[in-house]
Amino acid sequence: MYVLFLILGAIVQYSLWKKEKFSALFIFHATFLLYYVAVPTLVFIFNSSLTIKPGRFTYYILGSSFDDYYKGFGITIFSYLTILASVFIRYAYNKGKKPRLEKNLENSFFPMKIVYRYGWFFLLVGGGSVLMFFREFGGFRAALVFADTLRYAGTDSSQYYGPLTALFRMLSFLVMGAAYCFKVYKDNSKSKKGNILFLVSIILSMMYLIFNSGRATIVFFLVPFVLEYVIKRNKNVILTTIFIFIGVVVTAELFDIILYQMTTGSIAVAQSNTTLMSNVVSAVNDLSFPYSNILMVTDMNELHGFRYGADYFIWIFDIIPTRIFSSIGISIPRFETLNANTSSFYYVLNPLSYGGVPTDFITLGMRQFSLAGLALNSVFYSFFAMYIDKLSQKIGSKYNLIIIRFQMLFFTFITNNDLTDIIRGNLFIFIILIMLIGINRKMKRANINEAKIIQTGPQFSIYDVRSENI
Asked whether residue 101 is assigned to any structural domain, the reply reads yes
With 50 as the cut, is the pLDDT of residue 30 above it?
yes
Total domains present in the chain: 1
The predicted pLDDT at position 448 comes to 63
**What is the DSSP code (8-state) at residue 124?**
I
pLDDT one-digit tens code per residue, 94-132: 776 665 555 544 555 568 889 999 999 999 999 999 999
pLDDT of residue 464: 44
382 burial level (CB within 10 Å; 0-12, 13-18, 19+): buried
- Give the structural domain span for 266: 2-458
What is the C-alpha end-to-end distance of the chain, expressed in Å? 71
pLDDT at residue 446, as a whole number? 67
Q: pLDDT at residue 379 above 80?
A: yes
Residue 27 lies in a domain: yes
Q: What are 347-352's contacts with CB under 8 Å, separation 24+?
A: 348/303, 349/55, 349/60, 350/54, 350/55, 352/55
The predicted-structure confidence for 410-466, as pLDDT tens digits, reads as follows: 999 999 999 988 988 888 999 999 999 988 888 777 666 655 665 665 554 444 444
Q: Residue 467 falls within a domain, yes or no?
A: no
Q: Is residue 190 part of a domain?
A: yes
Chain mean pLDDT for the chain: 82
Decide if 468 is inside a domain.
Answer: no
Closest residue by Cα to residue 398 from 177, 199, 111, 167: 111
Task: Looking at mean pLDDT, say which of 16-30, 208-222, 263-277 comes out highest.
Answer: 16-30
Are the C-beta atoms of 318 and 425 separated by less than 8 Å? no
Q: What is the mean pLDDT of residues 241-245?
A: 83
Is residue 466 assigned to a domain?
no
Q: Please determine, for residue 396, whether its predicted confidence score (pLDDT) is greater than 60.
A: yes
pTM of the model: 0.85
Q: Assess whether pLDDT exceeds 60 at residue 385.
A: yes
Task: Tell me, yes or no, whether 362 lies in a domain.
Answer: yes
Q: Is residue 35 part of a domain?
A: yes
Mean of pLDDT values over 320-329: 68
- HSE-CB of 12 using CA atoms within 13 angstroms: 21
